[in-house]
Amino acid sequence: MAAGATSMFRDFLRRLLKNRLAVAGAVVVSFLFVVAAYPSAFARHDPSRIDVRKILEPPSADHPLGTDELGRDVLSRMVHGARISMEVGFVATGIATAIGLVVGLIAGFYGRWVDGVLMRFVDIMLCFPSFFLILAVIAFLGPSIINIMAVIGLTSWMGAARLVRAETLSLKERDFVSAARAQGAGNLRIIFRHILPNALAPILVWATLGVAGAILVESSLSFLGIGVQPPTPSWGNILTAGKDNIEFAWWLSVYPGLAILVTVLGYYLLGEGIQDAADPRLKGR
């Protein structure tokens, strides 16, 4: 049992690396990070340079994924679109996680009517078909990237809140919380020093899966024309162009579609891998 101070983390990493699907997911996600961080290293052309001589050209050496209806390079647009997708995914999930943590900690810790009120609010939020809510709000506020991030975040925190609440309920009955109380620790100290750090592992898993969900919603919104607005590239709005030209330009639909599929799958595999590797119930102390 005795080992370095990081042995718990090393254990976790070893289990994660043994899971091939999780490793595949991690590779996909890391690759996307690199693409999003250095788009110019992967795109040879300016993503918004229009060239009327090259409209809807099939994949070639110069344009590996072909060109779109305005003669722009699809690969370059997708590479720059990756950045948008990642940004939206992370910021929206960050907002959702933050709200979920606050609501879940307060509901679980204080219990009684506070818990009742907050959890009924969660139930109400879950009753809305969230995609239509997002559609309505975006239609009202206008489709800017900031609005998209905020609205996705504000409509997807309920799962996190329930998760954190459940963790808090079980953690606050543990002896180390009683011990902290006996030492004279106040509620805030107990919440931030004793409950929150122990509730972080499951919320990390939730957030990983949440990024995938947010990317999917952003793509859908962009596809419907009320997400990321042209000329800013996004996988969703490339697909829109692909839909209009699907009979003679398959590459315009297939590649962004594949990108979304692989990205979402990557996040899911990674998230599930983290969950399996971190779950102490499978560990057998």
- Among positions 61-120, residues that touch another protein (CB under 8 A) are none
Neighbours of 120 (CB within 10 A): 10
Helix, strand, coil percentages for the chain (3-state, nearest 5): 75, 0, 25
Residue nearer to another protein on the CB measure, 144 or 170:
170
Q: By CB under 8 A, is residue 180 in contact with another protein?
A: yes
Distances (CA, A) of 158 to 54, 102, 146, 211, 245: 47, 11, 21, 15, 39
Residue nearer to another protein on the CB measure, 177 or 238:
177
Tell me the closest approach of the beta carbon of residue 274 to another protein, in angstroms.
17
Residue nearer to another protein on the CB measure, 8 or 34:
8
Contact 24, 263 (CB under 8 A): no
**Going residue by residue from 117 to 156, which x/- string records binding to another protein, judged by CB under 8 A?**
----------------------------------------
> Which one, of 245, 218, 206, lies nearest residue 148 by Cα?
218
Residue nearer to another protein on the CB measure, 7 or 40:
7
175, 248, 281, 284: which one binds another protein (CB under 8 A): 175
Q: How far is C-alpha 185 from the geometric centre of its chain's CA atoms?
A: 35
Say how many residues touch another protein, by CB under 8 A. 23
Question: What angle (nearest 5°) sits at the alpha carbon of residue 92, between those of residues 154 and 254?
Answer: 120
Neighbours of 37 (CB within 10 A): 11
Q: By CB under 8 A, is residue 188 in contact with another protein?
A: no
Region from 39-47, 73-81, 193-201, 202-210 binding another protein, contact rule CB under 8 A: 193-201
Residue nearer to another protein on the CB measure, 7 or 30:
7
The DSSP symbol for 18 reads: H
Residues 276 and 285: their CA atoms lie apart, in Å, by 15
Residues 226 and 221: their CA atoms lie apart, in Å, by 5
Q: What is the DSSP string of 42-54?
A: H--S-TT---GGG
20, 120, 193, 243: which one binds another protein (CB under 8 A): 193
Tell me the closest approach of the beta carbon of residue 27 to another protein, in angstroms.
29
7, 30, 60, 144: which one binds another protein (CB under 8 A): 7
27, 37, 124, 179: which one binds another protein (CB under 8 A): 179
Residues found near another protein in the complex (CB under 8 A): 1-3, 5, 7-8, 174-176, 178-186, 189, 193-194, 197-198
